[in-house]
Structure 1
Amino acid sequence: MTKREIIHKELDALYQDGTKLGVAFQKKEEKQFEYDYQRWYTKALKAVASLAPDRLAEFRAYYEIDPKRKSLGYGTYVIQDFIKGVAPSPLHYSNFDTRSQTLKCFFNQLTILSAVSERIDSVLANIEGELYAEIQDGEIVVARQLSKVSVRAAGALVGVLIEGHLQKVANTHNVKVAKKNPTIADLNDPLKAASIIDTPTWRKISYLADIRNICSHKKDTEPTKEQVDELIQGAEWLTKNVF
């Protein structure tokens, strides 16, 4: 089971638990609701905070009492009021139904939690993208340091980085690549054919591929420091401009 599937499953279980809790509340099982809601709210709060931080304040507002609240009634009554046994004055709200208002707040929380599930894929994709970018930046730094010791080794390392990035770009755009273990050139041409990259970019990548080949394959030709510096700079540009 993938990470996405696990999160979807856990979030669905949390939503189903909330639905059962709402049914129990409608059956007037207050004690059960008060006990189980606190556990459910703690888990749901964390899920919303992680996957939809822009909805967190709204989610919390249906439970927590606003410290700036000046009156208690419709629009200001929250779940925490019900749990504390608080109700508006019957003199001002003779027909105020605390159970109905509590259920309305809880239903709104369930609705937000349901909407959060639609963001799982995009949130995980963003996290993966950020982690991948950090790894690439780290490899660029390592390559620069390595070039002080061995320009050939630094060039070989950056070549692998470029191949990996182009493979990721091809996968993102569903570009088919014939070879199982494609080189930079094997990836560069299909990306140009699919109009993912333009001609100037294709030429730049072709040039980087030539330098990489000197570093990795042509043992009789030693790459220069200037060439490897160009390769590193080109890789850094590529990872930040071609997606």
Structure 2
Amino acid sequence: MTSKPESMKKEVDALISKGGLLYYSMIDDTQGLPEKLEKQLEDKKIKLPNFKTEYDTWYSEAHAVIKKVLPDRLVDFVKQYKDEKRKEIDFLTYGIADYLLGLRTTRYGGSEVIADGSAAVGKMQIQNSILEAAAKRFESSLFDIQEVLQADMFDSELGAARELAKKGFVRGGGAIAGVVLEKHLFHVCEVHGHKSRKKHPCISDYYQLLKENDIIDTPKWRFIQHLGDLRNLCDHKKDREPTKDDVIELVEGVEKVIKTVF
């Protein structure tokens, strides 16, 4: 039986192969394939995909992989698709989204092309390179595959907590989000080799341990402390009842901690 990590690795490899073919498809559309490459594909009976109908699915799947496995490169990956901060469209800022729209910018009455589909070719190559880097993490001894599987579980649990809050079950939703926060902080402490002296440590023990060992700074420590207070509001009888907004804030805060504290 194939293990989940092995299955995930095969899926990522398949995405990389598809990304390579999409890259060739873009080259073929914008400037034509070199004869040698065209013959190699023909000999192997490989048919290039239709970029404009198959890219969106590839992008969504690749985005999900990079978000979980190589989150520090996600912004770079998205930027190749579209740079939301650009002030003008030129060869450097032209993205894959522009190519999909068939956008072409010119000046001097159209006599000089500033950017067209050919400007997106390098962007597609970069996206696939980032995906390849994500795949290599599966092979690295530094990568703990448990983190990927745990992230899936946390996403599911936080989704359940959000739904409970929306339906009025605020204490239940807050309790679930609090458990996720505690599990994540315990995992971070474990990864860094720090263990609480207490027999039954709680959220406050974990974030204090992380701060004392310089794994989190003071702003993050205060932020997690606030989340801990919201969790306690949901778990224990306090001066006031927790609200739906309290739990939504807790869920969103835990999501942020998972992405930034590791």
| TM-score, length basis structure 1 | 0.50
- If you compute each CA radius of gyration, which structure gives the higher value, 1 or 2? 1
| TM-score, length basis structure 2 | 0.46
